[in-house]
Amino acid sequence: MQELSQRLEFLQKQIQVLEHQLSELKEVKESVSAIDANEEVLFPLGAGVYIKGKLVSSDKVVMNVGRGVVVEKKAADALKLVSEQIKGLEQIFTQMNAELQDVSGQLQMAQMEMMQQQS
């Protein structure tokens, strides 16, 4: 029963991480879709500090592709990649939720059996 409780807690934490990642990716997708050249935006400098500026071009973005490597991509290609990432995370999210429900059910059954044995 302790293993089931630990598994349940692990799944809950992982689902929270996935929800955060999905939220971030959806914000990125919305931002890239809505941005226009010559639009005034806030550029992050780090540690919560921003600077106002105007975009020179909105047809290309620079994105992190992992391990600290950034590449320049066409905005349309970046949107496609982000959409694929969202789709993949949503599939994982669905699988993890199903597993969470299964583990939760197993835990409830184990608790009921334990209570019946004690009576």
Please list the residues that pair with 95 across neighbouring strands: none
Report the distance separating Cα 116 and Cα 103, nearest Å: 20
pLDDT confidence of residue 56: 86
Q: How do the domains of the chain map onto residue ranges?
A: 2-118
pLDDT at 119 over 80: no
Q: Other CB atoms closer than 10 Å to residue 75's CB: what's the count?
A: 15
**Residue 79's closest CA among 24, 28, 21?**
28
- pTM equals 0.81
Over the stretch 18-45, which tens digit does the pLDDT of each residue have? 999 999 999 999 988 888 888 888 999 9
Beta strands in 1-119 (DSSP E): 40-46, 49-54, 60-66, 69-74
User: Cα–Cα distance between 37 and 55 in angstroms, integer?
Assistant: 5
CATH number of this structure's domain 2-118, picked from the four choices 3.40.50.300, 3.30.70.260, 1.10.287.370, 2.30.30.40: 1.10.287.370
What is the identity of the amino acid at 78? A
Place of tokens 């994105």: 63
- pLDDT recorded at residue 38: 83
Element (H, E) at 53: strand 49-54
